[in-house]
Amino acid sequence: MSVQLDDLLVVGISSRALFDLREEDRVFREQGLEAYRRYQLDNEERLLRPGSGFELVKAILRLNQPGGRRRAEVVIMSRNSTETSLRIFNSIDHYDLDIDRAVLSGGAPLATYLRAFRVDLFLSQYEDDVATALEAGIGAAILYDRQHQPSDEIHGDATLFSDESEKIFQDHGLEAFSRHEAEKARQPLSEGPFAGFLKSLSAIQRESPPGQSPIRTALVTARGRPAHERVIRTLLAWNVVIDEAFFLGGVQKTEFLSAFRPHIFFDDQPVHCERAAPAVATGRVPFPTPVKSG
């Protein structure tokens, strides 16, 4: 029977993002592919510990309530071969994760297959795959290692929205940026790579009675007044609901993230990601243009 993924929220995640494979990665880097293959086969029955994306995956899968309409799918997107993947599938079975689909590329790049699976969000620790996904307009992030109703926090400019306004800030400073955004307040911002993911989340929220949505979303942005108006009007134009918004005007984000405690936080600026990673699962969106801290 054919399965249609077009109307579902689809998250693609690498095995290294789902499970803690740091030791296995060390074996691969220091001893090579054959040693890694032997290690995985010898430890086939040894369970993998949850990785930085594990709780997010559990939360996404809880959107599929027994007896209800299926809302979400998670696809394993792994560079493992079929034989080295057995340990991964055994761990998926142990944790009772409702994951039926996987790509095992045997070391080849994975981004080629994202469109075929209708992926809205791709999480990996391979920067090349993430960068290729972003170039194709798919929301993607490098998930940081780190040693809860689902919630997601998204930074605005250059992730949810295009980087057009961010470039004005970089090139001409805060005053020019604020003036530009005030002048363009009624002109919706162009979509960034995470717009599709947010729209899929919002569609799920609209299916639920008021106050009973299984997920919560928050927008965390360095913008303050008067640049707030264009963001709000853009979300209205997209028919997107955000549960909470933080217009911080340059204030550091970490304490707000600790208070909201999202399952994952996305940002394009390494400094924000490094500060957030000890507190929450964090995905960095690696845009090629360096961005000033704000």
Q: 217-236 pLDDT, tens per residue?
A: 888 888 888 888 999 999 99
Do residues 147 and 194 lie in contact, with contact meaning Cβ atoms separated by under 8 Å? Answer: no
Give the number of other CB atoms < 10 A from CB of residue 34: 9
* Strands of the 101-104 sheet, one edge to the other: 101-104, 72-78, 9-13, 121-124, 139-143, 282-284, 264-267, 151-155, 216-221, 244-247
The amino acid that residue 19 corresponds to is: F
The backbone region for 167, taken as left when phi is positive above 0, alpha when psi lies in -120 to 50, beta otherwise, is alpha
Whole-prediction pTM = 0.83
* First-residue to last-residue Cα distance in the chain: 51
pLDDT band at 113 (very low <50, low <70, confident <90, very high): very high
Q: Which domains does the chain have, with CATH numbers?
A: 9-143 (3.40.50.1000), 151-284 (3.40.50.1000)
Is it the case that residue 68 has pLDDT exceeding 80?
Answer: no
Is it the case that residue 206 has pLDDT exceeding 90?
Answer: no
Predicted pLDDT of residue 193: 85
* Spatial separation of the C-alpha atoms in residues 21 and 273, rounded to whole Å: 21
Is it the case that residue 96 has pLDDT exceeding 80?
Answer: yes
Write the pLDDT tens digit of every residue in 260-269: 888 888 888 8
More confident residue, 236 or 192: 236
Predicted pLDDT of residue 122: 96
Is it the case that residue 74 has pLDDT exceeding 60?
Answer: yes
Residue among 54, 125, 47 nearest 87 (CA): 47
Q: What is the mean pLDDT of residues 53-78?
A: 90
pLDDT band at 149 (very low <50, low <70, confident <90, very high): very low
Predicted pLDDT of residue 101: 95
